Structure 1
Amino acid sequence: MYDMGTRKWALALVDQGRSLNSVSKETGISRAAIRSWQERIEPLPRMATPDPGPPADERSYAYLLGLYLGDGCISPHTRGTGYYLRVACADAWPGLLQLCREAITKVRPGIGVHILQKQGYGMVTSYSRHWPSLFPQHGPGKKHERTIALEPWQQEIVDVHPWEFIRGLVHSDGCRITNWTTRVVADEKKRYEYPRYFFTNLSADITRLYTDTLNKVGVDWKRSNSHNISVARRASVALMDTHVGPKC
């Protein structure tokens, strides 16, 4: 038996113009089953969907919220009243894809989570009727073209788990790099390396959420430009290394 989320995921692939054969190979679901769902997806019995309440795991939610604000979106299903949460994770960071998947399952235990492989990245995808209530920042248009503000209950979660929120934002739109320079010491040129963190997002609101949270945990930061935040002081980088670390 397949849950409704799995059925709608398979049908969404068909809606993209994919053949039943290719969808069957990707999902492991027989063509006959997919064909039958196409014919009777609306008459399938629907269970009551009460308000989902708060996230089951607030620590994981803080991390997932950071990922969503950076590289996530919510879109309605074309055949029903549910929604897809999608978070893009680059193939260069396979560990990130798994962390995202685990966060979703902790926030909503028992929910289906699927990976749709695209060119250069994997789209972590999960179907639910309740994603818009869990991520009320959802709306039409690009995030940087509209207001992004946390609801009071979301801010409370971020205040309790600030590092998880920061980690999610950095894992989506940030990076840890190593800069270097040379200095002449006792007539000898020496190379010095120093790590730093960067975060880049076109949304001034999301950038402000990031810097406000950095302030709360005692991380010094500088604005390289209107969209780029740098953390370079040794003590602050050490804090970031302890609680965030490089992508994996």
Structure 2
Amino acid sequence: MEQHSPSIRAQAVALMRQGVPNRVVAERLNIPRGTIGWWRSEDRKACGETYEQPTDCPRCTTRDFDESAYAYLLGLYLGDGHIISKRKQHHLSISCNAPQIGLVAAAEDAMRKVMPLPSVSQRHRSGCTEVKSYTRHWTCLFPQHAPGKKHERRIALEPWQQEIVDTHPWEFIRGLIHSDGCRITNWTTRMVAGERKRYEYPRYFFTNKSDDIRKLFTDTLDKVGVGWTTLARGSDPFNISVARKASVALMDTHVGPKH
């Protein structure tokens, strides 16, 4: 292990006490960030300080935040998201289809807009990109987090969440479609003037096993004037379809296909 002189350590500690971030101190003095972090920890102990990790959690502070981005992120979370709890930390994870780089970018952008301070990263697996953000405060913003699968427990929005969804319904719908939905093109044939012609028509699908999450989706569709029907596969009514021309046009205007 490389040894650093007491004067260098004293210089680093002085900078950190002035509020200079670890990263900047490490770059300025050409010292590993881990070493800087250790010196900061030891200096706090020597001064009898208790470290409180800074947070920009909107629920724990009085700051305003991007509610439109939150409505979209809430839709993503209810569809393909989860929170993994660890000691003193929870990380929010949104699973995205890897080829849909626009969706990956949108998920990352929403996380950063809702809480800029926590780190955001990507984990790549076969066919999947997991967008992750680390802070114990994600459970403050997603109180639906609990042990077990979402469709096996009750999912209900808090009043403050419902108020955001009511204010930004299309962003919430877009998040749900981008997680557990799709836009497809169906086709059929018709006889026109004695000739059989192919006729194509787009439609949207949303599929989720949770009765509560499907109802959140359909209730929000009702509020924005989108007609929908339930399509059951066998006895399972897990699929919500939007197929009427005017409703599809509304969805195309505000949601669009994943990309």
Q: What is the TM-score with the length of structure 1 in the denominator? A: 0.81
- Are 2:71 and 1:71 aligned? no
Alignment partner, residue 97 of structure 1: 104
Identity between Structure 1 and Structure 2 (%): 58
Which of 44, 69, 85 is the matching residue for 2:92?
85
Residue of structure 2 equivalent to 1:182: 189
Question: Are 1:240 and 2:245 matched, yes or no?
Answer: no
**How far did 1:53 drift?**
4.9
Q: Deviations over 1:31-71 (max 9, x none)?
A: x7679989x99999632557245761000000000000000
Give me the whole-angstrom Cα distance separating, in 1, the residues matched to 2:145 and 2:252: 31
Structure 1 position 158 matched with structure 2 position 165: yes
CA distance in structure 1 between the partners assigned to 2:134 and 2:151 by the alignment: 25
CA distance in 2, matches of 1:113, 1:165: 21
Given that 1:83 and 1:130 are in contact with CA atoms closer than 8 Å, whether structure 2 keeps it comes out as: yes
Structure 1 gap segments, 5+ residues each? 4-31
In the alignment, structure 1 residue 217 sits paired with structure 2 residue 224? yes
With normalisation by structure 2, the TM-score equals 0.78
SS in 2 for 1:113: strand
Correspondence 1:128 to 2:139: no
The aligned residue for residue 3 of structure 2 is none
> Residues 84 and 131 of structure 1 are in contact (CA less than 8 Å); yes or no, is this contact kept in structure 2?
yes
What is the CA–CA distance in structure 2 between the aligned matches of 1:111 and 1:36, rounded to whole Å? 20
Between structure 1 and structure 2, the one with the greater Rg is 2
What amino acid sits opposite 2:253 in the alignment? T
Q: Distance in 2 between matches of 1:123 and 1:228?
A: 25
3-state SS of paired residue (2:225): coil
Q: Measure how far apart 1:92 and its partner are.
A: 2.5
Unaligned runs of 5+ in 2: 1-21, 25-31
State the AA in 2 paired with 1:239.
L
User: Which whole-Å CA distance do the structure 2 matches of 1:109 and 1:61 have between them?
Assistant: 12
